[in-house]
Amino acid sequence: MTGTSDKVVHALQMADEASSVRHMFVRDLVLECLIGVYKHEKRKPQRVQINVDLAILEDGRPFLDKLGDVVDYETLTDRIRAMVASGHVSLVETLAERIAEICLLDERVHAARVRVEKLDIFPDAAGAGVEIERTR
């Protein structure tokens, strides 16, 4: 692979000045969520932990210390919270896909890596879940 897609994949691991890629992230966002396929999971919320990594291509303009010039992680987390609160989801995979869609709403975001974990699903495991990566 060559070109922008190589730059974006690399950017999810770290920021890359040569490619003008900024790495923005939200770590360990824990929310109550109605999630699961079993009857008991449809009635009682479960804790999920969400991690988001975004590759943002910079436009080359000088950085002016203005919120409008960057992807706002508060807006992003508010959208994720609202979506999680909107109703039951059967699969962590579905939740991860919906979060990736939210991340890609901002045209400056060229790739999103989303990790969703159910924290209380197994008594002998810290979590179980899925990680996906979506690009433009």
Q: Is 66 a known active-site residue?
A: no
Round to whole Å and give the CA distance between 27 and 6.
24
Contact 76, 103 (CB under 8 A): yes
Round to whole Å and give the CA distance between 112 and 51.
10
Round to whole Å and give the CA distance between 74 and 34.
23
Q: Which of 114, 130, 113 is nearest to 11 (CA)?
A: 113
**Position 41, amino acid:** E
65: left (phi over 0), alpha (psi -120 to 50) or beta: left
**Residues 7, 42, 66, 118: which is the catalytic one?**
118
Q: Kindly list the catalytic residues.
A: 118
